Amino acid sequence: MSRIDAIKRHLVEEYELGTAPAELADDYDLLRNGVIDSLALLTLVSWLENEYALDIDAADVVPDNFRTAASIDAFVAAAVPTAKVG
């Protein structure tokens, strides 16, 4: 399973989007559509840290990094080279 597919699966399951992960558009605006609020963002960041062994800095928790499945995937892709080992 690709990373973006895993992210979509998590979004659909965690936030009960009422759609299949494959049907969630890469550019569906999670913020504008009220899927992710401040508490949901913290939950998502925690999941990403655990799932991809990341240490996400608070300065990186900005709306544009978490607006869509595609932006989340791009954020993780950029952060993976700095991921913790083990």
Place of tokens 């990094």: 65
Rounded distance between C-alpha atoms, residue 74 and residue 81, angstroms:
12
Q: How many CB atoms lie within 10 A of CB 44?
A: 22
* Whether the Cβ atoms of residue 4 and residue 26 lie closer than 8 Å to each other: yes
Q: Which residue in 57, 74, 76, 28 sits closest to 11, CA to CA?
A: 28
17 has pLDDT over 70: yes
82 has pLDDT over 80: no
Place of tokens 């791009």: 74
Rounded distance between C-alpha atoms, residue 53 and residue 34, angstroms:
27
* Mean pLDDT calculated for residue range 31-39: 94
* pTM value > 0.75: yes
